[in-house]
Amino acid sequence: MELNLFEEKALRIESAKMGAEIALSRLGLIKDEISQREAYRLFNESTVRSWVNRGLVKRVKPGELNSKASYSRIELETLKALEEKRKLK
pLDDT of residue 3: 60
Residue 2 has pLDDT above 60, yes or no: no
What confidence tens digit (pLDDT) does each residue in 56-71 have? 999 988 877 788 899 9
With contact defined as beta carbons under 8 Å apart, do 57 and 79 qualify? Answer: yes
pLDDT at 88: 58
Q: How far apart are CA 30 and CA 81, in angstroms?
A: 20
Residue 7's pLDDT band (cuts 50, 70, 90): confident
pLDDT at 4: 80
